[in-house]
Amino acid sequence: MNNLEQNEQFDVEGLKRKLSEGSSPPGNAGNPADEPAVLNPLARSIARQFSEHSRTPNIVIGQFRLFEFTALLAIGLVAGAIAGYDGLLDFAARTALVAFGAGLTVLAMQILDLYQISALRAPSLNLKRIVAAWAGGYAALAGLLFLTGALADFDRQILAVWFGGAALFLLAVRFLFAIGVRHWGRNGLMERRAVIVGGGQAAKDLIRALEQQPDNDIRICGIFDDRGADRSPNVVAGYPKLGTVSELVEFARLTRIDMLIIALPLSAEARIMDLIRKLWVLPVDIRLAAHANRLRFRPRSYSHVGAVPMLDIFDKPIRDWDSVAKRAFDIIFSVIALTLLWPVLIGTAIAVKLNSKGPVFFVQKRHGFNNEVINVLKFRSMYTDRCDPTAKQAVTRNDPRVTPVGRIIRKTSIDELPQLFNVLKGDLSLVGPRPHAISAQAGEVKFADVAEGYFARHRVKPGVTGWAQINGWRGEVDNSDKIRFRTAFDLYYIENWSLLFDLKILFLTPIRLLKTENAY
């Protein structure tokens, strides 16, 4: 049977479904240990080198695509300005037509694969396709003008100036951008950072295959393998083995890693499954090197680095332009909320201050994106000498630690409003899994020990509100089932995220907050 999707030896979709449902094996599989693994000095040194974000190729290409569209539009408008515009209506009509031509050109370039890294690095090999894309967009615009009878209203010399000027611009900017792409690649500013999981000959073959690809944008940061030096050498193809898989979890939290590549044969099914269960909680792409496997998935199951096939196991959630869109969403709606709610914020601050001694705000350390510890703001709702920053003792009904004002603001969730400033800072998102205190417990057991896959909630930024909260899972966590259900709802949100989903949750939040029996 040559289609691996029909082969029971390695059921990727089944594994993904089980993990997303929170059904990893008993114990702490899928959950990092409470005490982070201690990295050796070499691993820690390399982690520091890659602690800053790089610019992923998708982001850079998207920015360049937008730049080319804007530049073509600007050149067309300048060409029109030379002839002069006959009022505002004429300017708006010509702008729409020029934007149409520029948009068709960018679309043609996309269809002709001129926004691939290989094409951007070597524009001299693609001169004909660049000119053809621009000529196609321009011809479509000219055809539209002719069919609508508007061609006579345009100065044909100006149209010729636009055609020639834009063509020269496209060629020039492509050559300049090629220099930039090569420079950014050499200096690590535009790359996908990867760690290879598994050593020995399989890792060596993978590294050699990647190095032979002319369009390789992968920067290998190191190798992690649980096997000893007798089976997995300390240096493979010039790259050091930095530690075990348990240490990789800590390494990935200190380093801005984009991808984990498992370099193991598909016959090592049990070991691959075990690795994925440990690593899926990280906010990275997880790929299985498939260049040496004879069995083949359907084409849609693969991604490629040059000609090297990778089997897609997990994708990093909310990535590239999705993350840009979500960040813009957060900023816009946070500013709107603060503009509308500032009287509530000021009134609450005064009430908290007058009701009991102590600061207006309560700062608590909670788990953020990638399990990082962040400081989350709330209006103080407890007496100062009874506050519990660790959250080991959950707030219960009629809790004597809560002030009279605190009861009101906790029940209405007004105490959470200062987290809008956390959103603007970038620690939180408006919508996402709620951040829990680092020592939060259900009874006497920590959340991470109750819900399998708990730390997978941290593959995205936590939120002020979330899918679990509007479905009734808010307030006291007094039993294990409550945190399991919260985790299940959070994982569903991560797997099914969209801006429309965020918008739905955001607008349902005030309505669902009216149901307050679980909040005290």
Q: Measured between alpha carbons, how far is 468 from 316 in angstroms, rounded to an integer?
A: 21
Mean pLDDT by 10 residues, the chain (520 residues): 41 56 43 62 83 75 91 86 73 82 90 86 86 86 70 64 86 90 74 86 86 80 84 84 86 85 78 82 86 54 72 85 91 94 93 88 87 88 76 70 86 89 94 83 66 80 90 70 83 91 92 63
Which stretches of 126-269 are assigned E, i.e. beta strand? Answer: 192-197, 218-224, 235-236, 239-243, 259-262
- CA-to-CA separations, 161 to 104, 134, 158, 516, in angstroms, rounded: 19, 14, 5, 67
Phi, psi of 385 (to 5 degrees): -80, 0
Rounded to the nearest 10 degrees, what angle do helices 41-49 and 245-254 cross at?
Answer: 30
Q: How many CB atoms neighbour CB 42 within 10 A?
A: 13
Q: Provide the 8-state DSSP code for 296.
A: B
pLDDT of residue 502: 94
Structure tokens at 346: 């000021």
| Pairing relationship of beta strands 285-289 and 308-314 according to DSSP bridges | antiparallel
Q: Measured between alpha carbons, how far is 201 from 192 in angstroms, rounded to an integer?
A: 23
CB 424 within 8 A of CB 331: yes
Model pTM? 0.76
Q: Measured between alpha carbons, how far is 467 from 449 in angstroms, rounded to an integer?
A: 22
Query: Among 482, 492, 510, which residue's Cα sits nearest to residue 394?
Result: 482
pLDDT of residue 334: 94
Query: If you write DSSP's letter for every residue of 160-192 in order, what string do you get?
Result: HHHHHHHHHHHHHHHHHHHHHHHHHHHTTSS-E
Task: Give the CA count within 13 Å in the CB-facing half-sphere of 58.
Answer: 8
Length of the chain: 520
Structure tokens at 248: 């990789």
- CA-to-CA separations, 238 to 204, 207, 221, in angstroms, rounded: 9, 9, 11
Q: Measured between alpha carbons, how far is 460 from 172 in angstroms, rounded to an integer?
A: 40
Phi, psi of 367 (to 5 degrees): -75, 130
CB 102 within 8 A of CB 69: yes
For residue 49, count CB atoms less than 10 angstroms from its CB and return exposed for 0-12, middle for 13-18, buried for 19 or more. exposed
Q: Measured between alpha carbons, how far is 37 from 386 in angstroms, rounded to an integer?
A: 34
**Which residue matches tokens 């797997």?**
495
Q: Measured between alpha carbons, how far is 132 from 144 in angstroms, rounded to an integer?
A: 18
Phi, psi of 356 (to 5 degrees): -160, 155
For residue 219, count CB atoms less than 10 angstroms from its CB and return exposed for 0-12, middle for 13-18, buried for 19 or more. middle
Phi, psi of 366 (to 5 degrees): -135, 165
* Domains in the chain, CATH or no CATH each: 4-54+191-316 (3.40.50.720), 57-186 (no CATH), 321-512 (no CATH)
Q: Provide the 8-state DSSP code for 91.
A: H
Q: Measured between alpha carbons, how far is 120 from 7 in angstroms, rounded to an integer?
A: 39
